[in-house]
């Protein structure tokens, strides 16, 4: 069975997503969390299905992204490792759109992925 390693940042993302959704709908929060876990399994089995995250930053090379099944507003950032995948972050897709439009809010995908520079 392929390995699925989840970084502390990705685990925090999942918890924050669950808490945010659960305020209005705990059942939907559970479904979102379960869909993320199923997507992790799919990525571990077929790590090349995600889109390559193009960057000049050396620490982010090899990163890919893929939407959470049935909840495409959330995007999983991951990289292939021996026998599986490392889940790096799980972020709301709006952050990707904001960055592409040139709007610069306090939170962007690069900011959320920047913790990797320190590894």
The overall longest dimension of the chain from CA atoms, in Å, is 42
DSSP string, 32-57: HHHHHHHHHHHHHH-GGGSEE---S-
d(CA 58, CA 38): 29
pTM (predicted TM-score): 0.80
d(CA 1, CA 78): 18
Residue-level pLDDT at 104? 41
Tell me: the pLDDT tens digits for 47-84? 999 999 887 777 788 899 999 999 989 999 999 999 99
Where do the domains of the chain lie, and which CATH numbers do they carry?
A: 3-118 (3.30.2310.20)
> Is residue 32 within 8 Å of 68, Cβ to Cβ?
yes
């Amino acid at each position: 069975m392929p390995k699925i390693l989840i970084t502390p940042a990705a685990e925090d993302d999942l918890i924050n997503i669950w808490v945010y959704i659960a305020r209005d709908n705990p059942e939907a929060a559970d479904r979102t969390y379960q869909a993320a876990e199923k997507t992790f399994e799919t990525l571990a089995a077929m790590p090349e299905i995600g889109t390559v995250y193009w960057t000049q930053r050396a620490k982010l090379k090899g990163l890919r992204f893929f939407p959470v099944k049935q909840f495409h507003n959330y995007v999983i950032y991951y990289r292939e490792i021996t026998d599986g995948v490392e889940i790096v972050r799980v972020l709301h897709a709006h952050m990707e759109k904001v960055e592409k439009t040139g709007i610069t809010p306090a939170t962007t995908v690069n900011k959320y992925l920047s913790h990797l520079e320190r590894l």
